[in-house]
Amino acid sequence: MTNTVPSAAAPPAPTGPAVSVRESDSSALAAFFSAHASLFVLTGAGVSTASGIPDYRDRNGRWKGAEPIRGQVFRRDAGARRRYWARSFAGWPRVAAARPNAAHGALAALERAGLVRQLVTQNVDGLHQRAGSQRVLDLHGRLDQVDCLDCGARLARERMQQMLAAANPGVRPASPARSAPDGDVLLGVDAEDGFVVPSCPECGGLLKPSVVFFGENVPRPRVERAFARLDASAGLLVVGSSLTVFSGYRFCLHAAKRGMPIALLNRGRTRADELAALKLDADCGAVLGAVAACLSAGSGS
């Protein structure tokens, strides 16, 4: 009997923002860019929602679904790894098919105009690079890569998808009810039982996505590089993040301690609201698109 594991349907390619933007919001953020050119930009899941990749939290910073798998659990619990890879096998096509949206494109344009010094993203989808941004630091890693925890070999996520399919020939895709930003989808126990997880093709070791799982620490060299780039910037802009997780919030604390101006563009509250000189509760793509159109034209780029 063929077993069925849900597979996320590919979202349509974005056609541009369909959300109106208040002139006061775009004007205020354009003024912030102009006054503090060479910004450090931190982005979160809210930047990618228009690309069909859902976010983790609601407007108040609460989990929309179950907490993501913790790194310690993934490493020590074979059953948890089986559940993770079964869900990831189903959800990866949605992430792979996602396309950059207006927010990604606007940030790339603002970088080309010389207004973004460094872009640090908490997302693992690689959409900033696909939109043309060059100065990107993937704080939590990349979902399109898989690492062996034993020998250090790295392989493309597409190859892992092929290995998962070959190891589970009776599994066929269907549509899931819900998915998460890391490609994880909610499955029934029947779909997870018996799912076979392949080992590293080089050494037979344990394979893990090249991302920082919940409860793990961001590698120190990566954090130090981000702080160095923040110190060399004129201000901090946070886009699409509630900053609930400390790995992003610490940049706001650092900027505030140094007296650097902070702007926030996010739907709903953030952990750094009281630290910000400018807080906009608005659509990321619409506001950034208007700002980029104004400032990029003014720079002649």
CA distance 180 to 32: 32
Active site residue 140: yes
CA distance 96 to 91: 9
Burial of 121 (0-12, 13-18, 19+ CB in 10 A): buried
Selected catalytic residue, list 104, 128, 140, 254:
140
CA distance 232 to 53: 32
Burial of 232 (0-12, 13-18, 19+ CB in 10 A): exposed
Active site residues: 140
